[in-house]
Amino acid sequence: MIQFDQVTKRYPGGNEALKNLSFSIETGEMVFLAGPSGAGKSTLLKLIAGIERATQGGVLVNGQNLTRMRGNQICFVRQHIGMVFQDHKILFDRNVFDNVMLPLDIIGFDRRDAARRVRAALDKVGLLGREKSMPIRLSGGEQQRLCIARAVVHRPSILLADEPSANLDRAYALDIMELFKSFHQVGATVVISAHDETLMEDYGRRIIRLREGQFAA
Amino acid sequence: MRHFFYLHAQSARSALIKILRQPFGSLLNLLMLSVALALPLSLFLAVASLQDWAGRLTATPQITLYMEQSAEAADISAVNTTLHKHPEVQSFVFISKGQALKEMETKNGLQGLSDGLGGNPLPDAFVVTPTTLDPHELDMLQKELSGLPMVESAQFDASWAKRLFALISLGHQLTWFLAGVLGAALVLVTHNTIRMQILARRDEIEVTKLIGAPDSFIRRPFMYHALWQGLVAALIAWGLTCWLALAANPAISEFARLYNEQVSLRMLRPTELAAFIAGSALLAMIGARMAADHHLRRVGPR
């Protein structure tokens, strides 16, 4: 499903975020990405989503090599990916419902089915009663869950979450982890990054540990 | 497919609402665009009116064909048939040598001239009115006609036709020059408006792009905005020229009456209006496309 083949990512200015990294994630697997800030976790997720391009090596997602893809083709790969962004990237000019509707609009979903799907996704994250609210009225945790609803509403085959439990108290963070687990159980490939390993260990899943762009021992 | 149309209808509608929601800002922009459009349009109409008038002139250039003295009835009827069939000949009259002599005698009081000359020195002649005003085509026609069998020469007075034609073609060139320059201005102004809008909606573009929107999805609302802008600006420009024509026509007819002519600025024909509106919308969309592509390149994967 996801395959990294000797991937190096160097940012302008010479900072190497990832150094010659090779690994693969199977279809339907749930994997944690661990490591301190600046270890390259975000970069790794961005490479999978085609937001960044690898400087060297190949990134294969669903059998397609993202490093060779032109800008306007990557969007079709992204349509099969749900991404929970570290900074949420919620649109504050529209209500909760319309925020979650956006991915369905993009892939061209029938309007009535789409509305049902949006409500189902909001129900799943516990925001069904807030669909008409503007995002600015939501708490930090609610915004986080709105972002998750938007990432899963189109039922992507890959779900990426960049530090979804950051800035949340432990009970709340566990709730969110349970959410991801339930998406994994319906067949999605899930990759979650976090700097706090204690949350991951309870799940007994594979953990990829990064340190300064390489696998940590 | 339904979704495709839905998206287009949705973008068209929301773009229109966006324009109507800021009536003042939109109006200023639209007026600027429509003035830029109205200038070449008015000039176009002025030149077209002049051309219409020139086409209606009674004193269109005529070519006179002089037959050889030895031409016989069969030769004359051969030329007659050729002229009948010729696509560039609007009409012609035949003046026989006898007719010409009689006319000359009565007009100039020279009765008995042919007796004194011991014969009729005048040739048979055709006076041809061509369909074209183009001096080049007239030259061609003249050459062609003078080459007909038993035709001695073909003459016409081209100088005034050349002058009129040069004036009209100058007007045409000026029109196209203005249309080109102001069309470019239209592209640039829409480019700028759309760029401002893109900057105002930068977050939205970034997020939609991140969650998998193709460029066409991101571009669509802006293209529709430009489309509306182009359409409305063209309509306003058309209104302006209609107003100009209505206001100026009495004075123009008054002036023309002094010369016993009937001249007036004409309005756009329906096909011309359609082409004008379509062209304006197209130019606006080119501007929008340029602005959108420029921005999309910057938010692409690095």
| B170 lies in the same domain as B186 | yes
Per-residue model confidence (pLDDT) at position B104: 75
Q: Do A103 and B302 touch (CB under 8 A)?
A: no
CATH of residue B118's domain is 3.30.70.3040
Per-residue model confidence (pLDDT) at position B259: 77
Q: What are the CA-CA distances from residue A76 to residues A107, A111, B69 (Å)?
A: 9, 20, 86
DSSP 8-class letter at A137: G
Q: If you measure CA to CA, which chain B residue comes closest to A70?
A: B301
| B287 lies in the same domain as B207 | yes
| B133 lies in the same domain as B203 | no
Per-residue model confidence (pLDDT) at position A203: 80
Residue A135 has pLDDT above 90, yes or no: yes
Among B8, B203, B211, the strongest candidate for a mutation testing the A interface, having the largest count of A CBs within 10 A, is B211
Say if B4 falls within a structural domain: no
A24-79: per-residue pLDDT in tens? Answer: 999 999 999 998 888 899 999 999 999 889 999 999 998 889 988 887 788 889 99
Sign of the torsion angle spanned by Cα atoms B265, B229, A109, A65: positive
Per-residue model confidence (pLDDT) at position B26: 79
Residue A7 CA to residue A24 CA, distance in Å, equals: 12
Residue B235 CA to residue B239 CA, distance in Å, equals: 6
| B47 lies in the same domain as B110 | no
What is the number of structural domains in chain B? 2
A103 vs B203, B212, B300: nearest CB: B212
Q: Which of B104, B134, B156 is the last residue of a domain?
A: B156
| B28 lies in the same domain as B69 | no
Please list, residue by residue across B191-212, b when 16 or more beta carbons sit within 10 angstroms of its beta carbon and e when fewer do: bebbbebbeebeebbebbbbbb
Per-residue model confidence (pLDDT) at position B165: 76
Q: What is the ipTM of this complex?
A: 0.88
| B193 lies in the same domain as B107 | no
Q: Do A108 and B214 touch (CB under 8 A)?
A: no
Q: Do A89 and B207 touch (CB under 8 A)?
A: yes
Say if A24 falls within a structural domain: yes
Mean pLDDT by 10 residues, chain B (302 residues): 76 82 80 88 86 68 81 82 84 83 75 71 83 77 82 74 78 86 89 90 90 90 92 94 90 83 84 93 94 86 66
Which parts of B51-207 are beta strand (E)? Answer: 63-67, 89-95, 125-130, 151-156
User: Quick count: other Cβ atoms within 10 Å of Cβ A100?
Assistant: 29
Q: Do A83 and B207 touch (CB under 8 A)?
A: no
Residues B212/A106, Cβ–Cβ less than 8 Å = yes
| B180 lies in the same domain as B41 | yes
B26-51: per-residue pLDDT in tens? Answer: 788 888 889 888 988 888 888 888 87
Per-residue model confidence (pLDDT) at position B226: 92
Say if B302 falls within a structural domain: no
A198: tokens are 């204690």
Per-residue model confidence (pLDDT) at position B141: 83
Per-residue model confidence (pLDDT) at position B128: 84
CATH of residue A15's domain is 3.40.50.300
| B14 lies in the same domain as B89 | no
Which domain does B207 fall in, by range?
10-56+163-296
What is the number of structural domains in chain A? 1
> The whole model's pTM is what?
0.72
Q: Which of B141, B156, B171 is the last residue of a domain?
A: B156
Residues A137/A95, Cβ–Cβ less than 8 Å = no
Say if A143 falls within a structural domain: no
Q: Which of B156, B180, B214 is the last residue of a domain?
A: B156
| B94 lies in the same domain as B179 | no
| Count of helix runs (H) and strand runs (E) in chain A | 7, 10
Say if A145 falls within a structural domain: no
B245: tokens are 């024509």
Q: Do B214 and A53 touch (CB under 8 A)?
A: no
Say if B182 falls within a structural domain: yes
Per-residue model confidence (pLDDT) at position B185: 87
B33, B21, B220, B35 alpha-carbon torsion, rounded to 10°: 0
User: Quick count: other Cβ atoms within 10 Å of Cβ B55?
Assistant: 10
Say if A70 falls within a structural domain: yes
Say if B301 falls within a structural domain: no
Q: If you measure CA to CA, which chain A residue comes closest to B209?
A: A75
B211: tokens are 């969650």
| B172 lies in the same domain as B286 | yes
Say if B78 falls within a structural domain: yes
Which domain does A202 fall in, by range?
1-80+189-217
Residues A125/A148, Cβ–Cβ less than 8 Å = yes
| B242 lies in the same domain as B195 | yes
